[in-house]
Amino acid sequence: AQSVTQLGSHVSVSEGALVLLRCNYSSSVPPYLFWYVQYPNQGLQLLLKYTTGATLVKGINGFEAEFKKSETSFHLTKPSAHMSDAAEYFCAVSDQGNTGKLIFGQGTTLQVKP
């Protein structure tokens, strides 16, 4: 079975500061990992994903994440927060497409203060 834990349900940063959203996963098979962003009353937008290959993954809007197998982590970072980054962020894991299910973490609300 697979699971995802996002540490910190709420993260607050100042505009221009580093953003770090934490995600740890559990998987019995090599995982595919995803980060999504959700704005109020909207669907999910893919920020980035890791399937195979390079463990440092760059996504949209300046976000990146690093797959660390030894730590079972896939933390999301952005060097400098913008006000527009305020949203809900979800980490998700999939079982390499065997069932295709995406299992989501609890979500982290990112607040960006001026």
Partner 1 sequence: GAVVSQHPSRVICKSGTSVKIECRSLDFQATTMFWYRQFPKQSLMLMATSNEGSKATYEQGVEKDKFLINHASLTLSTLTVTSAHPEDSSFYICSARGDRGYGYTFGSGTRLTVV
Contact positions vs partner 1 (CB under 8 A) = 32, 34, 36, 41-46, 49, 51, 90, 97, 99-107, 109
Question: How far is the C-alpha of 18 from the C-alpha of 6, rounded, in Å?
Answer: 18
Residue closer to partner 1 by CB (options 50, 75) is 50
Nearest-approach distance from CB 79 to partner 1, in angstroms: 26
Nearest-approach distance from CB 95 to partner 1, in angstroms: 12
Nearest-approach distance from CB 90 to partner 1, in angstroms: 7
Residue closer to partner 1 by CB (options 80, 111) is 111
Question: How far is the C-alpha of 104 from the C-alpha of 114, rounded, in Å?
Answer: 30
Of 78, 80, 102, 82, give the one whose Cα is nearest residue 90. 102
